[in-house]
Amino acid sequence: MPAVIRLNHPGWDLAVYHNAIRALHAGHDPYSDAMAVQRLFHSHPELHIGGDPPYSYVYSPITLPVLHLIGSLPPWFSGSAFWLVYLAGFFTTLRVVMQAVEKSERTTFLYLAGVSAFFPCLLASGVILSGNVAYILYALMLLAASYGWRRGSWTWFYLVVLVASCIKAPLLTFLAIPVLSARRQWIPASLTAAAGLALFAVQPRLWPTLFTHYLEAVELQFSYNRDFGGSPAGIFAGVLFDHHIPYAPATYVFYLSYALPVFAVLLHLSRKFLRGSLSLQQWMPVLLVGVILLNPRIIEYDTAPLAIPLALLAWRYLNSITTRHATILIFSIVFVITNAVALYSWDLSKLLQGPLLATLFAAGSWNLVQQNLTERTPPDDQLPTTRKKQPTKIHIASRDGVLTTSG
């Protein structure tokens, strides 16, 4: 039986994968083994000694053949390869999002890039060191998106998102990126979404027992660990759950109540980007934050790639309403406060996550709209004036030649 996983240990998420691999090679059902540990833990209060409750493997059965293949490799090789790819994923993500930094901001954000792993307290809470595969998936998707922005070809992006959705189905919301970044992408994005949903729907037929246990493991993730995430919908579901109110379907309605307006704003700004009114540097931070907001369950791993985009939205908005020195001061204060809150209570930090994303998305969107209006309205000294009537020239002929006078 797998050991209890504690969230305050480095690599705790990787340990969940490791336990699933051990269960597979022992001929067990990894979902059943993990759920047995969870039920044992929660049925015996004497086991609740510090730390966090155990977590189980909650990726769909289509991922299990890959786990089995990884488990057949020597542990030293698979472990080293994973951490090398994981580290490359972190720096790849950072490199892509830094492309949104404009020339005038480069010096400041080179400093911020160095501390982005700590904001908001991601390293101290073990999020980056957990080993969650999301860091690799986001790196691949953002790298493919960067290729699409530069070359205008989105085939690789669709393939990467389809593969990523087999591990984390909500990542299908990333299909909004090509739709909002290029013309004539609705059909390929819809086909990719249909393929992703089909891959999910076919699994109950291929692995009926495993899929049933997978759904049970997901349900225990909510009921035992209250792991609804930090999205506005996740926070709403957590409040309902705490008050013993069914979180479905009310949470779905609440999600649509803000997801549809967010997409409408993105669609409006997308038209400006496609017309050339916005640069990619201006558009990218708002787009990425908005697309993450479309994810109904936002976990710490989903906000980690947004450290630089969120900082850009805050920086640009503050710069538009105050001085540069005041912006730096506010930035420093917010950095200290958010890290202090996260160190004091990670649960409280998660409650602030959704409102922070929504607020900065609104500020960034408003800033783009206002900036676009300002650029379209010329200054007073460039406004067209009434054309003055030119003086009439009167030519008077004389014996000596032609005399010209102004009338």
- pLDDT, tens digit, for every residue of 127-150? 788 888 999 999 999 999 999 999
Q: For residue 375, name the pLDDT band (cuts at 50, 70, 90).
A: low
Contact 303, 128 (CB under 8 A): no
d(CA 223, CA 241): 8
Average pLDDT over residues 321-339: 82
Tokens 């909004």 identify what position?
A: 176
Residue 358 lies in a domain: yes
In DSSP terms, 395 is beta-bridged to 404
149 contact partners, CB below 8 Å, separation of at least 6: 181, 280, 284
In this model, does residue 95 exceed pLDDT 80? yes
Residue 283 lies in a domain: yes
- Identity of residue 314: A
Q: Distance from first CA to last CA of the chain, Å, rounded?
A: 105
Query: Which of 174, 109, 110, 103 is closest to 143 using CA atoms?
Result: 174
d(CA 159, CA 60): 18
Q: For residue 397, name the pLDDT band (cuts at 50, 70, 90).
A: very low
Token duo for residue 3: 């050991």
Contact 295, 302 (CB under 8 A): yes
Token duo for residue 183: 């013309």
- Identity of residue 48: H
Q: Find the domain containing 252 and state its range.
A: 229-376
Residue 257 lies in a domain: yes
3-state secondary structure of 404: strand
Average pLDDT over residues 110-136: 78
Residues counted in the chain: 407
So what's the pLDDT on residue 373? 64
Average pLDDT over residues 199-211: 95
Burial class, 292, CB count within 10 angstroms (exposed 0-12 / middle 13-18 / buried 19+): buried
What pTM, to 2 d.p., does this model score? Answer: 0.85
d(CA 211, CA 188): 28
- Identity of residue 179: V
d(CA 303, CA 310): 9
- Identity of residue 331: F
Q: For residue 107, name the pLDDT band (cuts at 50, 70, 90).
A: confident
Residue 334 lies in a domain: yes
So what's the pLDDT on residue 384? 45
d(CA 313, CA 364): 5
So what's the pLDDT on residue 400? 42
Residue 387 lies in a domain: no
Query: Which of 202, 182, 136 is closest to 163 using CA atoms?
Result: 136
Q: What percent of the chain has pLDDT over 90?
A: 47
So what's the pLDDT on residue 234? 87
Token duo for residue 26: 């022992």
Q: How many domains does the chain have?
A: 1
In DSSP terms, 393 is beta-bridged to 406
Residue 327 lies in a domain: yes
Most confident stretch, 105-109, 193-197, 302-306: 193-197
Residue 105 lies in a domain: no
Residue 319 lies in a domain: yes
* Alpha helix (H) residue ranges in 182-279: 186-201, 203-206, 208-223, 232-242, 250-275
Burial class, 325, CB count within 10 angstroms (exposed 0-12 / middle 13-18 / buried 19+): exposed
d(CA 7, CA 317): 36
d(CA 321, CA 333): 17
At residue 125, what are phi and psi to the nearest 5 degrees?
-85, 0
